[in-house]
Amino acid sequence: TEVIIIIISSVITLVGILIFIRNWKLSKNGTRTIAKITGNFHSAAEDSYDNGRHIKTFYPLIEFTTVKGLVIKGQLDRGSNVEKEIGKKIKIIYDSDNPDLFKTDSFVVLFLIPIIVIFIGILGNVWGVLEMNGVLNILIEQ
């Protein structure tokens, strides 16, 4: 089981690194602008229940104009359990060569979340290696 944990943790780490690199490139080379929230998308397939409470996830629908005058409409890839106010302005960053690739322009979305994913993957790897070498059993027995 330790090998499986190390493999899964390595994949998680790699995914986090790839997302971080993609977001870093977007942050470095992308174009920043203001988008307007035009609605909220709700997928019933993503609903969950916590202690009998129905939890819905809403993804903001946005619209913005590129520097070339192209109007782009799309959905943010990060949702929340609260609908965003329609008409509210938010900062986004988009790929100038592919304006359909956009993200919320915030440190949390671009960098903190991928760093947390990388950290979780590394922790899983460390745990797996320590478990394989019996170090955790020694620590638990003391």
| pLDDT, tens digit, 9 for 90 and up, residues 32-62 | 999 999 999 998 877 888 888 888 889 999 9
Beta 53-55 vs 58-65: how paired, if at all? Answer: unpaired
Into how many domains does the chain fold? 1
Map tokens 């019996």 to a residue.
134
95-133 pLDDT, tens digit each: 999 999 999 999 999 999 999 999 999 999 999 999 888
Q: What does each C-alpha distance from 137 to 9, 125, 134 come to in angstroms?
A: 20, 16, 5
Going by pLDDT thresholds of 50, 70 and 90, the confidence category of residue 89 is: very high
Q: Are residues 75 and 118 in contact, defined by beta-carbon separation less than 8 angstroms? A: no
Is the overall model pTM greater than 0.85, yes or no? no
Beta 102-104 vs 71-75: how paired, if at all? Answer: unpaired
Tell which residue, 137, 134, 135, 125, has the closest CA to residue 3.
125
7-33 pLDDT, tens digit each: 999 999 999 999 999 999 999 999 999
Going by pLDDT thresholds of 50, 70 and 90, the confidence category of residue 142 is: low
Sign of CA dihedral 69, 73, 77, 82: positive
Tell which residue, 61, 55, 110, has the closest CA to residue 85.
61
Q: Which structural domain range is residue 84 located in?
A: 2-141
Write down the mean pLDDT value for the chain: 92
